[in-house]
Structure 1
Amino acid sequence: MTFIPVSNYDSNLLKGSKLLLPTVSIGNVPQLTFDLLVHTFKLQRVGYIDQDTLMPVSGIREDDKTGVTVPMEVFQSKDHQWTYVQQRSPTIKGKRQAFLDQLVQFASQFSQVIIVTSMDASRRLDSQIRGGPFRVFGDKSVVDQLGIPVLENMLNEDLPAAGLARHLYQQLSSSLPTSLLVMFALEGDNVQDSIEYAHLINTVFKLQTDISSWTPPKSWEFLFGTPFNAELYQ
């Protein structure tokens, strides 16, 4: 796993910043959330991560620049305080541990990591059914800052449909300040989930203070395919 910077970007600017890191999990809520953060904040694409552990995927860039999107891309705020990774595809079978090991090595240069994931809302504990859909676990300073409930039984239970979130947290937290941010969700139309998630992240971490609305990328127009021809059913 190698970070490939765009031209004229100094890779040393990554060091010491705070990393927001999504997992591929139920509803792709983290991916949709990071779409909103990247496009609303107009974050600078500073490079991508070259690796052989994720399912290959590519698409048209949405910032009107040449090139294509790839499975893992890196963005950064203008003040270089926050770094965002967008992961668009899951790990290849048999390469999960290699992906985790390489990602932990990449993350070691940051001052703090916030893992953003989603969990299956249909498998919540009784104590999780009431109240809001968010939970947090990990670094005490972040837990206190968020002001939302701590994730119950994190150390004793699996995290249903949260992908590699638990494994990633366990490996990262042994070497640097790491927090796990969770949203309970279901498969379906997860646009509203991502808006609520983006709002929470922006509010508690004070990423941008002048945001009045969220700007989705153009690709969201095709989240549910193209419209059908109504004349076919007349």
Structure 2
Amino acid sequence: MFISSQEAPPAFKDFTLVMPAVAVGNVGQLAVDLIVSSLNMNRVGYIHTDCLIPMAGNNPYTTCKEDAEVLHTSAEVYTAVELKLAVLQIRAPIIQTKSKKFRQLLISWIKDSGFSRTVVLSSSHAYQRDDQQLQGTPLRYLVTPSLLKMSADALKELGWREMERVLAFPGLTDDNAEPRLYIPGAGITKGLYTDSCREDIPLAVLLLFCSEGDNIPDAFTLVNHLNDWLHLLDSPSKELNSKWKIPASWNLLFGSGIPPALF
């Protein structure tokens, strides 16, 4: 359930919603961090649910000492009104037994809010790609029929590569076997996409094949890919990485370093 942090609840009608899936390498969440930080987006509320592991912490996008200690929670909503853009950042894992409930909550909120389109940033295990997915770019997309009606020309112009369907048992010849959508390590991505197709919701998934580790470069790759479509930052592609603002919370992304007392 969305709870506004403002006196007047925000209007999301005709806004674009960007959100991450909690997936391998946390690439979608890191990409969303770059968007919120770079666009100086305003926090307008949060999602209150028992489907996420509870957590709270300091402001991850702090710019000065005064706002550093502002409390932030596991699922928050930010907006850039001039761009008609809303972002849902998810900072905690989804409780496994409540994954379906969380998808239903998101679908209900998206429909009630009147978003014009939703973009899910996700990732999938690189080591589980089949032969056709090893070729070319590691970036893929999925789009629901209702969004395809609106954005077919734009997607064709971008020349993106759609996520391939694969056989359940690759290598076995079975004329009756139908390829299926398989996105290992992507959390609720497949379920959210399938639900959106059924509910006629305009939704796209942008995902990257990756491995666990230092996934900051993957986050830049994914957010640059998104920028090719939404034009969040107006900058030549060669200079784009330097235009994204790294949030303060990334300073401790890999811990606080080796204690000098050890030596």
TM-score, structure 1 as length reference: 0.91
Partner of 1:183: 208
The residue aligned with 1:3 is 2
Once the two structures are superposed, what CA deviation does each residue of 1:92-150 show, in whole Å capped at 9, x if it has no partner? 23211111111110011211111111000111121121211110111432633542111
* Cα distance change on mapping 1:231 and 1:72 into 2, 3 Å: closer
Matched residue, 1:150: 162
Range 105-114 or range 133-142, more displaced: 133-142
Q: Which of 30, 40, 43 is the matching residue for 1:42?
A: 40
Structure 2 residue runs without a partner (length 5+): 167-178
Task: Tell me the number of residue pairs that the alignment of Structure 1 and Structure 2 aligns.
Answer: 231
RMSD: 1.9
* Amino acid across the alignment from 2:248: K
Partner of 1:88 in structure 2? 91
Partner of 2:172: none
Identity %: 30
List structure 1 segments (4+ residues) > 6 angstroms apart after TM superposition: none
What is the 5 A alignment of 1:104-183? 104-108=107-111, 109-138=114-143, 139-140=147-148, 141=151, 143-144=155-156, 146-153=158-165, 156-174=180-198, 175-183=200-208
What is the CA distance between 1:46 and its match in structure 2?
1.3
* 1:46-69 CA distance string (max 9 Å, x none): 111111110111110133536311
Note if 1:70 corresponds to 2:70: no
Contact 1:44–1:78 (Cα < 8 Å) also in 2: no
Comparing both structures, which one devotes a greater share of its residues to helix?
2
Gaps of 5+ in 1: none
Larger Rg: 2
Aligned to 2:174: none
1:227 and 2:252 correspond: no
With structure 2 as the length reference, what TM-score do the two structures score?
0.81
8 Å CA contact retained: 2:51, 2:98: yes
Look up the match of 2:51: 53
C-alpha separation in 1, matches of 2:205 and 2:155:
9
- The counterpart of 1:194, out of the listed 219, 223, 241, is 219
